Amino acid sequence: MALDGILLSKIVCELQDFIPAKINKVYAISNTEILFQLRSQGKKQNLMISCHSLYNRLNITQRSYPTPEDPGHFIMLLRKHLEGGIITELKQEGLDRYCVMTVNLRNEIGDKVFRKVYIELMGKYANVILVDENNKILDALKRIPPFENNRRTILSGAQFKPAESQEGKKNPFITDEIDPNVPLHQQFEGFSPLLSKEIDYRMKHNQSFSEIMDEIKHSTKLYLCNVNQEVQFHCIPLYQFETNYKEYGIHEGLDVLYYHKEEKDRIKQQTGDLFKFVRKQLKHNRNKIIKLKEALDEALDCEKWREYGDLLYAYSYQIEKGTKEFKCTSFDGENEISIPLDPKLDGKQNAKKAFQKYNKGKKGQEHILKQIEICENEITYFEALEQQLELADFTDAKEIREELVTNGYMKPQYSKIRRKKKPDAIKVNSLTLDNGLNIIWGKNNLQNDQVTFKLSSKQDMWFHAKDYHGAHVVVSGNDLDEETIRLAANIAALYSKGRMSSSVPINYCPIKNLKKVPGAKSGFVTMNSYKTIYIDPDETILDYLEEKTEKMR
């Protein structure tokens, strides 16, 4: 579900604690996300505004986000008009799903001016609109020309008109008069159908409307619960679903809810849609290998063409041009053979062509077998990348793109802004256990190589899911207790294609037993001796890892 007006009122109320705040910097996170870096009460704060059609929100975030090197026109305009300004007010209009941010600053000649930023969080119509002191639109994240909406044009220079308000609806914090024949979300401002159903459910279980609204008024939490593999949430527990829920602070809860959901969109926008490229390569190679195997079958059947050639030379005097097929008895006299002919050629010419096909098939077998091996390796490689992208964050995906550029599959991305920039160091995930042992693992081929061959010693223990593409996991030391072995095996299983399976086999051995495959791409190794443990992947460990792990070089 999207934010409703009631939940937005709780967010705006909590944001009052950060106002006034100075805008230090404005960043683009993706095509639909803007990050304001603020200075409030002597501390840095990051204000996230998302206009994604499904994940639109406004919250203080503690997460780190990548920023594109080439900000768009609207971001540059926000920087020009807002950076260095002071947010003096953030106000929600009634219980509608939009609010207004007022920013005071000085213009180019030093005069005091103000700008207003309208933050509209209305599903697919979510938008950020910059308005000057004369109520004229300077620009918007999403422009709406007159031919799309003649009642409300959102273009530079147009007079700004606020979004239509919820006329005729009552404020639920002021009145508790209810019409039992009309759904609550049609009677009251700020109610979504979800909240309406929750309040109906609670009232049927002997809780009064005023009590529920008082609980909403004093709530400072966000409650999340899983319902049919979809997360439902609000500022009060959703008892209607009769399931367990998790409780977070409102801003933290929005981060938990949306950060990873939008991550795939960020990866697509900032890395050139790796998902599409990898799947295209997989499709190409899978189609190619089918044709290669057909060609191999034909090449292996080349002996018949040698026999056809001998027979055609023997009976060439009987074959005239224009003949499409010639039937004769084999040399041993046991079989009747039908030989296809090229009607443009005579008997001897068709015999010569038959021998050419025989020689081509004989010589081509070795070449086709080599091409099949190359194609199978390509499929294995891109299947591994596809699996890695499913579990990748932005940094991991960026490294996968760099790997594809290095291997010649993709062209490098060039920034319009020319900067001398050192290549980013490859970072891997690290976790220090209570027993003092350190676990590191990679989530792509470059990280796996770093983990296995550059950050580990020969005595460290190495883990990897058997028969699956996945993470290389290394534990410092080789005298491991069962709990450590099971944790490392669980990490290997969770960051592999077998994460949704049960009894996933995990091979483990000392690093000294590994050997890099000559000529193979990054991340491919062989083992000469190892042990195997079977593990049921436990996804609850992912939350623990996300909280405890850190990136290391």
Mean pLDDT (whole number) for 269-296: 87
In the predicted structure, residue 368 carries a pLDDT above the cut 70: yes
In the predicted structure, residue 101 carries a pLDDT above the cut 90: yes
- pLDDT band at residue 271 using 50, 70 and 90 as cut-offs: low
Mean pLDDT (whole number) for 501-509: 91
398 within some domain:
no
In the predicted structure, residue 419 carries a pLDDT above the cut 80: no
In the predicted structure, residue 137 carries a pLDDT above the cut 50: yes
- pLDDT band at residue 12 using 50, 70 and 90 as cut-offs: very high
User: What is residue 317's three-state secondary structure?
Assistant: helix
Predicted confidence at residue 553, as pLDDT, reads: 41
Predicted confidence at residue 67, as pLDDT, reads: 75
- The more confidently predicted of residues 258 and 460 is 460
412 within some domain:
no
Mean pLDDT (whole number) for 338-346: 89
Mean pLDDT (whole number) for 509-519: 86
458 within some domain:
yes
Predicted confidence at residue 126, as pLDDT, reads: 92
467 in the same domain as 381 = no
218 within some domain:
no
In the predicted structure, residue 382 carries a pLDDT above the cut 50: yes
Would you say 359 and 344 are in contact if contact means Cβ atoms under 8 Å apart? no
301: region left, alpha or beta (phi > 0 left; psi from -120 to 50 alpha): alpha
357 in the same domain as 452 = no
411 within some domain:
no
367 in the same domain as 287 = yes
Share of the chain above pLDDT 90, in %: 39
Share of the chain above pLDDT 70, in %: 94
546 in the same domain as 437 = yes
Give the C-alpha separation, 541 to 170, whole Å.
Answer: 46
pLDDT digits (tens, 9 = 90+) for 35-57: 999 999 889 999 999 998 888 89
At which of 140, 173, 202 does a domain end? 140
Predicted confidence at residue 167, as pLDDT, reads: 73
DSSP state for residue 289 in the 8-state scheme: H
Predicted confidence at residue 257, as pLDDT, reads: 84
469 in the same domain as 381 = no
Would you say 508 and 531 are in contact if contact means Cβ atoms under 8 Å apart? yes
Number of domains in the chain: 3
Predicted confidence at residue 549, as pLDDT, reads: 66
Predicted confidence at residue 552, as pLDDT, reads: 46
Would you say 121 and 106 are in contact if contact means Cβ atoms under 8 Å apart? no
> DSSP letter string over 107-151?
-TTS-EEEEEEEEE--GGG-EEEEE-TTSBEEEESS-B-TTT-TT
Across 239-289, where does the E strand assignment appear?
Answer: 246-249
Give the C-alpha separation, 307 to 198, whole Å.
Answer: 82
Is the bond leading into 66 cis (omega within 30 degrees of zero)? no
Mean pLDDT (whole number) for 68-85: 88
Give the C-alpha separation, 58 to 209, whole Å.
Answer: 28
Give the C-alpha separation, 491 to 482, whole Å.
Answer: 14
At which of 110, 140, 170 does a domain end? 140
133 in the same domain as 28 = yes
124 in the same domain as 22 = yes
437 in the same domain as 348 = no
User: What is residue 480's three-state secondary structure?
Assistant: coil
Predicted confidence at residue 176, as pLDDT, reads: 82
498 in the same domain as 438 = yes
Parent domain of 69: 5-140
The model carries a pTM of: 0.69
Predicted confidence at residue 107, as pLDDT, reads: 83
78 within some domain:
yes
Give the C-alpha separation, 177 to 175, whole Å.
Answer: 6
Predicted confidence at residue 360, as pLDDT, reads: 83
Mean pLDDT (whole number) for 154-183: 87
Would you say 47 and 62 are in contact if contact means Cβ atoms under 8 Å apart? no
In the predicted structure, residue 265 carries a pLDDT above the cut 80: no
> Which CATH number does the domain housing residue 119 bear?
2.30.310.10
In the predicted structure, residue 73 carries a pLDDT above the cut 80: yes
160 within some domain:
no
At which of 140, 158, 191 does a domain end? 140
15 in the same domain as 125 = yes
Range with lowest mean pLDDT among 173-177, 182-186, 263-267, 291-295: 263-267
pLDDT digits (tens, 9 = 90+) for 110-125: 889 999 999 999 888 8
135 in the same domain as 9 = yes
Predicted confidence at residue 421, as pLDDT, reads: 53
482 in the same domain as 364 = no
Predicted confidence at residue 422, as pLDDT, reads: 55
Predicted confidence at residue 474, as pLDDT, reads: 93
188 within some domain:
no
Looking at every residue in the chain, the average pLDDT score rounds to 87
Mean pLDDT (whole number) for 91-103: 92
